[in-house]
Amino acid sequence: MNQQAKTSAQELLASLYPSSLMVVGASADPGKRGYQAVQALVTEGFQGRIYPVNPRLEQLLGLTCYPEIAAVPGAPELALVCTPAASLPEVLDACGRKGVKTAVVLASGFAEVGAAGQALQNLSLAVARNWGLRLIGPNTSGVFNMHAAMNLVGYRDLRPGPLGILSQSGNMALSLVTEGTLQLHSGFSSYIGVGNASDLAFHDYLDYFLLDQGTGALAAYIEGLDAGQAFLQAARQFTASKPLVVYKSGRSASGQKAAKSHTGALAGNYQVARGVMRQAGVVLVNQPDYLLPVAEALATQPLVKGGRVAVLADGGGHATIAADALDSLGLPLAQLSAASQKALAACLPATASLTNPIDVAGATDTDPEVFARCAEILLADPGVDQLLLVGLFGGYALRFDPQLLIAERQTALQLADLARASGKPLLVHSLYALYKPEPLALLVEEGFPVFSSIEVAVAAVQALTDYSAYRFREATDDYLTGEGEASRRALKILDGARFEGRSALLEPEAKQLLKAFEVQLPEELWLRSREDLQQLDAAWLTQPLAMKLVSQDILHKSDAGGVELNLLGLEDLDAAWQRIELSAAKYAADAKLQGCLLVPMASNQATEVILGVTRDSQYGPLLMFGLGGIFVEVLEDVVFRALPLSRADAWDMLAGIRSAKVLEGVRGQPPVDKSALVELMLKVSALVTAHPEIAEMDLNPVRCYREGYKVLDARVLLNTQRATSSSALEKLELLPELVH
Amino acid sequence: MNQQAKTSAQELLASLYPSSLMVVGASADPGKRGYQAVQALVTEGFQGRIYPVNPRLEQLLGLTCYPEIAAVPGAPELALVCTPAASLPEVLDACGRKGVKTAVVLASGFAEVGAAGQALQNLSLAVARNWGLRLIGPNTSGVFNMHAAMNLVGYRDLRPGPLGILSQSGNMALSLVTEGTLQLHSGFSSYIGVGNASDLAFHDYLDYFLLDQGTGALAAYIEGLDAGQAFLQAARQFTASKPLVVYKSGRSASGQKAAKSHTGALAGNYQVARGVMRQAGVVLVNQPDYLLPVAEALATQPLVKGGRVAVLADGGGHATIAADALDSLGLPLAQLSAASQKALAACLPATASLTNPIDVAGATDTDPEVFARCAEILLADPGVDQLLLVGLFGGYALRFDPQLLIAERQTALQLADLARASGKPLLVHSLYALYKPEPLALLVEEGFPVFSSIEVAVAAVQALTDYSAYRFREATDDYLTGEGEASRRALKILDGARFEGRSALLEPEAKQLLKAFEVQLPEELWLRSREDLQQLDAAWLTQPLAMKLVSQDILHKSDAGGVELNLLGLEDLDAAWQRIELSAAKYAADAKLQGCLLVPMASNQATEVILGVTRDSQYGPLLMFGLGGIFVEVLEDVVFRALPLSRADAWDMLAGIRSAKVLEGVRGQPPVDKSALVELMLKVSALVTAHPEIAEMDLNPVRCYREGYKVLDARVLLNTQRATSSSALEKLELLPELVH
């Protein structure tokens, strides 16, 4: 992160490990937050000084109360503000004057209730800014930091541990914390309720959790992001060293912007969020119930070489369900070595299944330690990346014989030792997890996740696999940037069109733009008038051609009858030209016709894909990739990434569409030259990143061959407001050229 | 069910509500099932007589023991057999002699361990059959019937209730029962562990649960079915009055049969099971964790008019997640009437959200009864089919103020009364569900399901919607059957080919077969020799034609170069004929060429679909439906149903493919005439149902127009073994005709 972000995060860190804090609006009413917070601080052993502020109280829970903020001794790093909305500007002013660094503002009644609230929020923020005071909230459900024994939320029975929580909904945070308290989990580090995010926002909090040594992984509930690009940047930095698990809600929101381009229209909120978050190394879960257990697995287990899972089960049912769940996520069952199978055979009965999933066939019912012997074999197998134990473990004493408890405890410790020594993850499912029996509690204490659902355990396997792959690939990943000469040529074309007040490039211009970045295009000829047909040489007259109208006023050529295919010879071409002119005139009488493009008919022995660029209000410039035709228009099988795009991102996009196997060549088509397509994507990324003048772009279709590709059509829309090019200096140099 | 099945089910019912039962192999060792069962019977208050059998015990838990089966008084209806595998034939013989009706056999070591075990299983079955004794198992995890206080499994803390469990895995049953015990659930009726199903099998147990008045809904865990057709028949009967929820495992099994036809190859296990079970009214869940809560909702809630859900939430986060979850399953949020919104406004604060999902915005924090007032309004709205409450309900006393408990209890009872009075389902999610607080326990007691996961609650909404739709449509559904004359003509064609020892029909024969059932086919002409081309009249010579090779030895015409398109005039046709003959000779030198078919080129302005028939080893004849081309070959977007097919089944198939919207007409294609397509499907169903001689059939492609369709190609494979036609008598009458 940059220096400013780092300073800001360090300040927040200091505020959330405060040596002293103020509770403004402390209360003697047990139903009030101003009481609950003080009570939690006192009873849970907060080590710093606590200053309750309330003009009508002298003492609260054994603490001295202060009549006003100014009366508090020293300069507490943190203030919890429990007073009503209207008081906020005054309270913040007093806090700022006092030297408070961060205020946690609980009151609601701000931007979320309309214009008057928004004005109050703005005023409050201005006051805070004046003092350099940072705000969490307003309208936050609160904050806790269990590693500082500082619980300002009033949630009960919290244990400290590695799991951070960041949530845009207080109730969702409550759900997570309740789940973490009732079930076997390894405990929490900090929680921050984002609230209205008038000042500090998601990306600031990511920076905090990144610096916080008490946090091993972060679980975040996100409804919407105002500063999407800042979030992505912070997320990239975060995931480079810690796992970030996100549940993104608001997925059903639809029909947002009425974009002019194809790509824009397809940029549905969730699909975009999914793409750009994956790109930033975020693990997305599809259900909120998965947030905590998946984060816990990532917080506690090592990175993995791959997703080859060994399943160790004490019965066929759970083994089968685990295999199904792995299969449905595309995770491979590990192939065990012959040596492993032989070793398993030696410690299991004849009825056991020795191929993965391993079913011990009752061998553990009387001797749970058989699990440890099997686990040792499986973890030592070089073909096994992760070990998943499913079934009844932890419940043998409950189910079969109380005396088995000793052996189960012993086995739990052995399993933990074996897994640690192997450097491979161990994930344990047990149908007894909700009973929280001692052997399972031991496993959690030793740093291994325990799951009550096989599906969730398997989602954790996938998360470990994906996140590890991301971490390993980040090390070697690279980008393409627009180098000087290419950008200079591109800018000339862009500025030419903008100088004429146009909001779109002509097709030949769009193609020239791409050519500047060495994109492969079909040979083509732009004839300005029908008479130019007479000048065509033999090469153009003896092969089948396509003819396409060029007009700055007609964006959708096909709709205007502006495309003719399979034309051979002068007579054909001339007739086509006339038809196009007639159709265009009928379609838009005032349209300025600027001739036609001639292009040799391209081979059909190809797979068509679409690349599109749009600028998203949240996440900035995005690249969309999809297959042509019905795949995009009917199946909406597209994938998005934020720009700039790395080479690994591009490969990930190709693999990310549901119909990815079409790229391998189906129904007689040759396979697509993926390397070439990846290079094209990187060139588009470089072009668009260097030129913010480009608002939207469709390369549709791009015909992909066994070797190489051809961009058959290109549409480029321009920003109508005057944007600053990243190469602003060059633009100034070039402008005179265009003007003269 | 038929009389035999009914008698069998009644006998099983009598056995599982026994007036007396025997425990063969009773034991004094608390670790043994022969002890646990007797203990559970005694302590849980089984009202019948209990006869432990063990030659080495005189007394067990206060009961007299008997040295041998013969010594037991009277004729107990049920025997629990806990002795080892080898003893089984002898034990069953003694049970049979004693007049026992049903034996539950726990021992393993039978068919599941190989040939010797299989032999022992067969012998045991023969012994049992000799006495008319029915077997549950062997290798079953056991049986309980909580309504008879008869717990032979040893699971703890079971409560009686409406949920039946049928499971092919003991551990899965244990999972379900543990879940039902630890969480808020309404209790169990009977459990039956299917085991090896040597005698009684899934369909018998369905019949039992159907008759059992204690069972409101059945949750079943199924790995594989031996008698799929019997299961489907029993399931259809079951679901006509009670809900059946199934988790089908073994979904990753792949690459089974190497079928010759397209359809056969696509009949992947799970896709087939999914289709035929849906057709039988079964609710399939994708995760085993969903089995119990979904079954509970179905057992306790009324049938619904539709899936329009009102979501009532006490916070934005849960409201949003519920809306997302509903959206992802395609379930609509109810549109509230203006009157409802006005009424809600009157009892909620200004910051509340009055459009669905309703967010009470904290109004319930201090007064939970606001929920009841809102629920009353929502349940009364005619646009609302189901009410889903999400958030913290039941936990207000825990979270905010212990004094709220009284109001929460009151609210729970009010909600129950309101929902009952409205006749609409009420489903309650609470993040406090796992705490089992009193208000939520009250709701369950009152017969309303409580969920700890919003996703599961929404799956229950979907199950209620789907199952109700099934129940309502079943009442008016109809079938098409092959009437006499059509079948007679079809049989003539089939027997002609079989008489010649062929395993496939020629294309013209296949089309004649379809024509007999009034299927729409393109006009066509079968010319036996090239010379016949000279006889063509003007109509055939002045339109573009397709020419297709006819040869009983060449199934795949295209591969053999046997298809030529767009032929116009005699010269074209003649040249094409020669090319086809040459290609065919190169492809298969010995092939018998039987001329060519001429067909007018069909319009491309159509959507191509595929219909296929295969005979599945588990489920019998199946119909497959899919879109042509890439949809089938790449996306495998197909749907299966068992034959015979009802009209409603056919409509359900059209709606069941993922790309169903292609049928509405995309990319310039007209919409498909769905009614005509449905009729075609019913005709195929009637044809295949009447003629078991048909092994497989592909109608590919079927070109669908705005009005009507054309079957462009048809392939019919025949059973090579001599099958009995359902119209066997007619066949006998017709055979002479074919022979002379």
Tens of pLDDT, residue by residue over B579-601, are: 999 999 999 989 999 999 999 99
**Do the chains contact at A317 and B251, CB–CB below 8 Å?**
no
Best mutation target among A634, A657, A672 (most B Cβ atoms within 10 Å) is A634
The two beta strands, B134-136 and B102-105, are parallel
Chain A residues within 8 A of B320 when measuring between CB atoms: 169, 223, 249-250
A661 CB-contact burial (10 Å; exposed 0-12 / middle 13-18 / buried 19+): exposed
**Do the chains contact at A667 and B629, CB–CB below 8 Å?**
yes
Does any CB of chain A come closer than 8 Å to the CB of residue B558? no
Q: In 3-state terms, what secondary structure has residue A388?
A: strand
A348 C-beta neighbours (distance < 10 Å), count = 22
**Do the chains contact at B318 and A171, CB–CB below 8 Å?**
yes
Q: Are residues A404 and A460 in the same domain?
A: yes
Q: B614 — phi, psi (to 5°)?
A: -140, 160
Helices (H), B45-184: 88-98, 115-131, 170-182
Split at pLDDT 50, 70, 90, the class of A268 is low
The pLDDT value given to residue B482: 73
Statement: residue A674 has pLDDT above 70: yes
Q: Are residues B320 and B465 in the same domain?
A: yes
Retrieve residue A726's tokens.
């990243």
Does any CB of chain B come closer than 8 Å to the CB of residue A250? yes
pLDDT digits 0-9 by tens, B437-446: 999 999 999 9
For residue B360, what is the domain's CATH number? 3.40.50.261
Q: At what angle do helices A3-16 and A202-211 cross, to 10 degrees?
A: 70
pLDDT digits 0-9 by tens, A287-345: 999 999 999 999 999 999 999 999 999 988 899 899 999 998 999 999 999 999 999 99
Which residues span the domain enclosing B682? 479-522+602-740
Q: In 3-state terms, what secondary structure has residue A718?
A: strand
**Do the chains contact at B630 and A662, CB–CB below 8 Å?**
yes
Distance from CA of A394 to the nearest CA of B (A): 13
pLDDT digits 0-9 by tens, A150-172: 999 988 788 999 999 999 988 99
DSSP A251-312: TT-------SSHHHHH--HHHHHHHHHHHTTPEE-SSGGGHHHHHHHHHHSPP-S---EEEE
DSSP A469-526: HHHHHHTT--B----HHHHHHHHHHHHHHHHTT-SB--HHHHHHHHHHTT------EE
Chain B residues within 8 A of A32 when measuring between CB atoms: none
Split at pLDDT 50, 70, 90, the class of A725 is very low
The answer for B 619-638 residues in CB contact with A (under 8 A) is: 629-630, 633-635
How far CA A361 is from CA of A318, A358, A396, A430, B136, in Å, comes to 12, 9, 14, 16, 21
Mean pLDDT of A54-80: 96
Distance CA A191, CA A209 (A): 10
CB B23 within 8 A of CB B52: yes
Cβ within 8 Å of residue B350, ≥6 positions away: A113
Which is more confidently placed, B419 or A499? Answer: B419
Mean pLDDT of B615-631: 89
The pLDDT value given to residue B722: 52
Distance CA B620, CA B643 (A): 8
Distance CA A454, CA A390 (A): 7
For residue A246, what is the domain's CATH number? 3.40.50.720
Does any CB of chain A come closer than 8 Å to the CB of residue B352? no
Distance from CA of B183 to the nearest CA of A (A): 9
Retrieve residue A377's tokens.
């074999």
Q: In 3-state terms, what secondary structure has residue A638?
A: strand
| Burial track B430-465 (b if 16+ CB lie within 10 A, e otherwise) | bbbbbbebebbebbbebbbbbbbbbbbbbbbbbbbb
CB A646 within 8 A of CB A479: yes
Q: Are residues B728 and B646 in the same domain?
A: yes
pLDDT exceeding 70 applies to what percent of chain B?
A: 95
- The answer to whether residue B211 is domain-embedded is yes
- The answer to whether residue A402 is domain-embedded is yes
Distance CA A520, CA B359 (A): 54
CB B51 within 8 A of CB B34: no
pLDDT digits 0-9 by tens, A102-154: 999 999 999 988 899 999 999 999 999 999 999 999 999 999 999 999 999 98
Q: Which long-range contacts (CB under 8 A, 24 or more apart) does A253-258 make?
A: A257/A617
Distance CA B52, CA A700 (A): 79
The pLDDT value given to residue A722: 52
**Nearest neighbour of A287 by CB, restricted to B315, B316, B455:** B455
User: How far does CA B428 lie from the centroid of its chain?
Assistant: 27
pLDDT digits 0-9 by tens, B326-339: 998 999 999 999 99
Chain B residues within 8 A of A191 when measuring between CB atoms: none
B402 CB-contact burial (10 Å; exposed 0-12 / middle 13-18 / buried 19+): exposed
How far CA A224 is from CA of A196, A473, B76, B317, in Å, comes to 11, 28, 67, 11
pLDDT digits 0-9 by tens, B433-484: 999 999 999 999 999 999 999 999 999 999 999 999 999 987 777 888 777 8
Q: Which residue has the tokens 């390894």?
A: A186
Split at pLDDT 50, 70, 90, the class of A223 is confident
Listed residue (A142, A135, A84) closest to A113, CA to CA: A84
The two beta strands, B309-313 and B63-64, are unpaired
Distance from CA of B139 to the nearest CA of A (A): 12
Range ranked top by mean pLDDT from B162-176, B310-324, B409-423? B409-423
Counting every residue, how long is chain B? 740
Retrieve residue A239's tokens.
């995931």
Instruction: Answer with the one of A601, A624, A642 that is the final residue of a domain.
Output: A601
The pLDDT value given to residue B626: 95
The pLDDT value given to residue B728: 36
DSSP B247-273: EE--TT-------SSHHHHH--HHHHH
pLDDT digits 0-9 by tens, B698-721: 999 999 999 999 999 999 999 876
Retrieve residue A598's tokens.
């001639």
Which is more confidently placed, A558 or B205? Answer: B205
Q: Are residues A349 and A363 in the same domain?
A: yes
**Do the chains contact at B31 and A400, CB–CB below 8 Å?**
yes
Listed residue (A594, A591, A574) closest to A583, CA to CA: A591
Does any CB of chain B come closer than 8 Å to the CB of residue A575? no
Distance CA A61, CA A579 (A): 90
- The answer to whether residue B277 is domain-embedded is no
Split at pLDDT 50, 70, 90, the class of B724 is very low
pLDDT exceeding 90 applies to what percent of chain B?
A: 78
Does any CB of chain A come closer than 8 Å to the CB of residue B322? no
What's this model's pTM, rounded to 2 decimal places?
0.90
Retrieve residue B629's tokens.
């081309």
The pLDDT value given to residue A365: 83
- The answer to whether residue A385 is domain-embedded is yes
Instruction: Answer with the one of A438, A459, A474 that is the final residue of a domain.
Output: A474
For residue A570, what is the domain's CATH number? 3.30.1490.20
Q: Are residues A463 and A482 in the same domain?
A: no
Split at pLDDT 50, 70, 90, the class of B492 is very high
**Do the chains contact at A223 and B320, CB–CB below 8 Å?**
yes
Does any CB of chain B come closer than 8 Å to the CB of residue A430? no
- The answer to whether residue A502 is domain-embedded is yes
A68 C-beta neighbours (distance < 10 Å), count = 11
CB B627 within 8 A of CB B635: no
Chain B residues within 8 A of A392 when measuring between CB atoms: 171, 174
**Do the chains contact at B666 and A633, CB–CB below 8 Å?**
yes
Statement: residue A409 has pLDDT above 60: yes
In angstroms, how far is the first alpha carbon of chain A from the final one? 45
Split at pLDDT 50, 70, 90, the class of B630 is confident
Counting every residue, how long is chain A? 740
Listed residue (B185, B180, B244, B188) closest to B214, CA to CA: B188
Does any CB of chain B come closer than 8 Å to the CB of residue A559? no
Retrieve residue B442's tokens.
């009250």
Element (H, E) at B422: helix B404-422
Domain count, chain B: 5
- The answer to whether residue A37 is domain-embedded is yes
The pLDDT value given to residue A266: 47
Query: What is the rounded average pLDDT for all residues in chain B?
Result: 91
| A:B CB pairs within 8 Å | 162
Q: A584 — phi, psi (to 5°)?
A: -65, -40
pLDDT digits 0-9 by tens, B226-283: 888 999 999 999 999 999 999 998 766 432 332 334 344 444 577 888 999 999 999 9
Statement: residue A613 has pLDDT above 50: yes
Q: Are residues A334 and A318 in the same domain?
A: yes
Statement: residue A732 has pLDDT above 70: no
The pLDDT value given to residue A252: 61
Distance CA A714, CA A505 (A): 9
- The answer to whether residue B283 is domain-embedded is no
Query: What is the rounded average pLDDT for all residues in chain A?
Result: 91
**Do the chains contact at A172 and B317, CB–CB below 8 Å?**
yes
Q: Determine the residue of chain A that is closest to B324 in CA distance.
A: A252
CB A698 within 8 A of CB A714: yes
Lowest mean pLDDT among A262-271, A520-529, B156-165, B600-609: A262-271
Distance CA B102, CA B76 (A): 9
Q: Are residues B596 and B683 in the same domain?
A: no
Q: Are residues A510 and A533 in the same domain?
A: no
Split at pLDDT 50, 70, 90, the class of A556 is confident
Distance CA A653, CA A66 (A): 59
Q: Are residues A515 and A529 in the same domain?
A: no
- The answer to whether residue B293 is domain-embedded is no
Chain B residues within 8 A of A183 when measuring between CB atoms: 434
CB B193 within 8 A of CB B220: no
Chain A residues within 8 A of B317 when measuring between CB atoms: 167-172, 175, 221, 223, 249
Distance CA A297, CA A303 (A): 10
Q: A504 — phi, psi (to 5°)?
A: -145, 150
ipTM above 0.85, yes or no: yes
Q: At what angle do helices B228-239 and B454-474 cross, to 10 degrees?
A: 90
Statement: residue B79 has pLDDT above 70: yes
Instruction: Answer with the one of B139, B167, B199 that is the final residue of a domain.
Output: B139
Retrieve residue B597's tokens.
């078919």
Q: Are residues A620 and A532 in the same domain?
A: no
How far CA A694 is from CA of A159, A233, A688, in Å, comes to 51, 22, 6
pLDDT digits 0-9 by tens, A72-84: 999 999 999 999 9
Statement: residue B602 has pLDDT above 90: no
Residue type for A191, please? Answer: Y
Distance from CA of B155 to the nearest CA of A (A): 8
Does any CB of chain A come closer than 8 Å to the CB of residue B371? no
Q: Are residues A336 and A399 in the same domain?
A: yes
Retrieve residue A553's tokens.
């006023």
Q: Are residues A409 and A546 in the same domain?
A: no
